[in-house]
Amino acid sequence: MTEKPLLVLSSQTDPLWQNYLPPHSFRFDAGRGRKPEGYPHICNIMGWRRWLKRNCIREVHLYQPDPELFPLLAAVSLLPISVTIHITGSLEIHRLRSIKWLAPRMARFSCAGNFLVEALKRIGIPPHRITLDWPIPAIQTISDAARSDLRRQITAVGGSDSDPFLVLALPVPGNTHALRTVCWACAVLYHLGKNIKLIAAGPCGQREEERLESWQRMWKVHQMIIPDRQQHDWDSLVAACDAVLASGQNLREVIRLLHVQAAGQKMVTQSGDGSEFLQESARTKIVAEPGARPLAAALLSMLEPAGKA
């Protein structure tokens, strides 16, 4: 039997990473269920040991492991298998420590940013086991006609009868703290009388939608936030919007940020996680001060030249 690696994606792995996975491999995607066809249940340690042996697995890559993958990580640790753990975005310190305890002693860590490398060093991972690795973004070219059509579709869902300033949130709906800062910044401009809509794109379940709706009620910004629910691919949304807005904290969306940069889209963010990927320019504003109001002021300075203030 030809040996193939096993690629394991947690439910927290950004779907964009699917474009950068090596071919000719087994893929277990926890985002599609706890027991995809052909694989053991995600919690069945003994079942995984048998499956790994039966399929002659000698190499396992785990992407952005979360607690649901810990049984699988424990099963892998019991076998003579090469393990690489890919940290593709911010993780809580207690989760990083859990991964360190469960991973084999010789497991390697591949990080999508220096800020992630430093986080691993702080919990005692030896530098020789850590590599810095992020992909060269391969973005899709979007025609002007497709861009205009997508803008009409999005604003129609948001209940707008005019052409608003369309902002795309970098944080996914599950990244609550970072997304709240972005939403509040747009709400500030909304209450200044600006015609603004914010797209929240990414995996969005009922709990996330209810949270977005509660924020809109609390801040009195009716239909300002438009959940995309992954109806459109990220590159199309980047092309359709007028600017991308990000918080400088808890950056889980490194791959999305790289795609924004490659597309040359306007972007406003705060200094912090992800600053290493950015350089201040006419199309990229980096705000030093924390909080939503400085972020809103920087976005307004980008909105006014667009003639939509």
Whose tokens are 């090469």? That residue is: 82
Per-residue pLDDT, 229: 77
Tokens representing residue 44 in the block: 């069945």
- CB of 285 within 8 A of CB of 248? no
Packed helices 176-190 and 292-303: angle between N→C axes, nearest 10 degrees? 50
Cα separation, 235 vs 48, in Å, equals 36
pLDDT tens series, the chain, 309 aa: 567 899 999 988 988 998 999 888 999 998 777 777 889 998 899 999 999 999 999 999 999 998 889 898 889 988 899 999 999 999 999 999 999 998 888 899 999 999 999 999 999 999 999 999 988 888 888 888 999 999 988 888 656 557 889 999 999 999 999 999 999 999 999 999 999 999 999 888 889 999 999 999 999 998 999 998 777 899 999 999 999 999 988 899 999 999 999 999 999 999 988 888 988 898 999 999 988 999 999 999 988 765 555
CA nearest neighbour of 196 among 173, 171, 229, 219: 219
Domain limits, CATH 3.40.50.2000, in the chain: 144-306
Can you tell me whether residue 185 is helix, strand or coil?
A: helix
What's the pTM value of the predicted model, to 2 decimals?
0.91
The CB density around residue 78, as the number of other CB atoms within 10 Å, is 13
Q: What is the CATH number of domain 6-132?
A: 3.40.50
Answer yes or no: are the C-beta atoms of 221 and 196 closer than 8 Å.
Answer: no
Class for domain 144-306, per CATH? Answer: alpha beta
267 and 243 in contact (C-beta within 8 Å)?
yes
| Contacts made by residues 53-60, CB under 8 angstroms, sequence distance 24+ | 53/79, 55/1, 55/4, 55/6, 55/26, 56/1, 56/3, 57/3, 57/4, 57/5, 57/6, 57/26, 57/81, 58/3, 58/5, 58/82, 59/3, 59/5, 59/6, 59/84, 60/5, 60/6, 60/8, 60/84
